[in-house]
A and B are shown apart, each in its own frame.
Chain A
């Protein structure tokens, strides 16, 4: 049925990234052919990383794993809604995991987190698609993040990976809230030219 041939290589975040199949191609196979082997490969790439991210923001291993599973199941169910050329698959999966995490927190609220995709469907205004390959987008953004100063990178990581609100970042790092915001602004100024044509 499905290939369980993922090598250990794939379970690790190799800096090479060469051994991993292109997530955009895998997602396309899921959307068009309902291909479970492709789903299994997406699982191998993303589930352990989502689990790791969820644990950094304080989820215990069981909850982090549930959220990773839920994310991949959403990928299976939403694959046909992903618009090719609209940013990297990694970004799309990040937003799914983020929304699930928030909705979990807000479970007493019946209002799911609104993402860019649903806002755009509503306003019927999509930007021009990017012509870049998935791996190129991810590599360029990663390289751009590498150019940040250690202080800037720290607040960006605490925000996006540990998903701490700015006020909590201020406490964690021991700097005023205003400094958190100004570091993020400086980080964005630095990233912006490199992100310009990527989405």
Chain B
């Protein structure tokens, strides 16, 4: 798979630091499952966390903490490697996404969101600020021009679309800041299915969000 578009390095650093909101972390992890280059980069950004932990000052543990740990370690349970193979019935769904989509892409219950456009929201934990959703754009159809009220990550799972940034095909990830406006058009021949994380802390009064509202059902 040739991947042309990757998360911004600051996004990968946040992934390593563990500070991405759940929907964004899922999109980045799913991209990484498809992208060796980003796994390589994440190996480097993880190192930053290790070095900073090693350099951290020591906050003494309370009395008896070590004894309690060793007692707990008497329980000989060990963790087995994660079972191989996707958790999803759909082999084209990478493992980080499979937990959110166990029945695969073909079983998705789509919700009409405008001409040629359908969405499906995927449930996340209650602490998530943003929203995780699938977006399907019919072959040859366009997504209404929109800006973003916050960060938006879009990973192409199937098909392809084009906008002023180029051609985005399976595995490509569009990492857009709030000031970006674009108008993706799906290529003819196949519906384009994307995994999208959007920031929910949106300014509902802005003109831009009013255009997005019907699309994502805010």
Q: Which residues of A come within 8 Å of B, CB atoms? A: 2, 4, 11-13, 34, 36, 39-40, 43-44, 46-53, 55, 61, 64-65, 68-69, 72-74, 76-78, 80-81, 86-95, 97-99, 101-102, 105-111, 113-114, 116, 118-123, 125, 127, 137-138, 141-142, 144-145, 156-157, 159-161, 163-166, 178, 180-182, 184-185, 188, 191-192, 195-196, 198-199
Known: A49-B58, A141-B47. 10 other contacts (CB 8 A): A2-B70, A4-B66, A43-B66, A90-B50, A91-B51, A99-B18, A110-B99, A123-B36, A165-B14, A166-B19
Q: Does B94 contact A (CB under 8 A)?
A: yes
Q: Does B126 contact A (CB under 8 A)?
A: yes
Interface of chain B: mostly helix, strand, loop or mixed? helix
Residue in B closest to A89 when the chains form the complex, CB atoms = B50
Cβ-defined contact, B52 with A145, below 8 A: yes
* Bound-complex Cα distance A114 to B28 (A): 10
B40-84 interface (Cβ within 8 A of A): 40, 42-62, 65-66, 68-70, 72-73, 76-79, 81-82, 84
What are 8 of the A-B contact pairs (CB < 8 Å)?
A: A47-B65, A51-B61, A80-B78, A88-B50, A106-B128, A116-B32, A122-B95, A166-B10
Residues in chain A near residue B177, CB distance under 8 A:
178, 181
B23 → chain A, closest Cβ, in Å?
11
* Bound-complex Cα distance A49 to B52 (A): 10
Q: Does B13 contact A (CB under 8 A)?
A: yes
* Bound-complex Cα distance A178 to B176 (A): 12
Residue in B closest to A54 when the chains form the complex, CB atoms = B59
Q: Does B8 contact A (CB under 8 A)?
A: yes
Residues in chain A near residue B108, CB distance under 8 A:
none
| Given A111-B125, A116-B39, A199-B43, A13 contacting B51 (CB threshold 8 A) | no
A168 → chain B, closest Cβ, in Å?
8
Cβ-defined contact, B51 with A138, below 8 A: yes
A-facing mask of B121-144, CB < 8 A → 1, else 0? 000111110000000000000000
* Bound-complex Cα distance A119 to B22 (A): 16
Q: Which residues of B come within 8 Å of A, CB atoms? A: 8-10, 13-14, 16-22, 25-26, 29, 32-33, 36, 39-40, 42-62, 65-66, 68-70, 72-73, 76-79, 81-82, 84, 86, 94-96, 99-100, 124-128, 177
* Bound-complex Cα distance A11 to B47 (A): 22
B135 → chain A, closest Cβ, in Å?
20
* Bound-complex Cα distance A196 to B72 (A): 39
Among the listed A78, A121, A199, which residue makes an inter-chain contact with B44, where contact means beta carbons less than 8 Å apart?
A: A199
Among the listed A113, A127, A184, A188, which residue makes an inter-chain contact with B18, where contact means beta carbons less than 8 Å apart?
A: A113
* Bound-complex Cα distance A2 to B71 (A): 12
Cβ-defined contact, A114 with B96, below 8 A: yes
Residues in chain A near residue B8, CB distance under 8 A:
181, 185
Report the 4 A-B pairs with minimum CB-CB distance, sorted nearest first: A109-B125, A91-B50, A48-B58, A141-B51
Residues in chain B near residue A157, CB distance under 8 A:
52
Among the listed A13, A73, A91, A127, which residue makes an inter-chain contact with B47, where contact means beta carbons less than 8 Å apart?
A: A91
Cβ-defined contact, A90 with B53, below 8 A: yes
| Given A48-B61, A181-B8, A165 contacting B48 (CB threshold 8 A) | no
Among the listed B39, B53, B72, B81, which residue makes an inter-chain contact with A125, where contact means beta carbons less than 8 Å apart?
A: B39
Residue in A closest to B25 when the chains form the complex, CB atoms = A113
Residues in chain A near residue B45, CB distance under 8 A:
188
Cβ-defined contact, B43 with A184, below 8 A: no
* Bound-complex Cα distance A181 to B19 (A): 13
* Bound-complex Cα distance A119 to B125 (A): 21
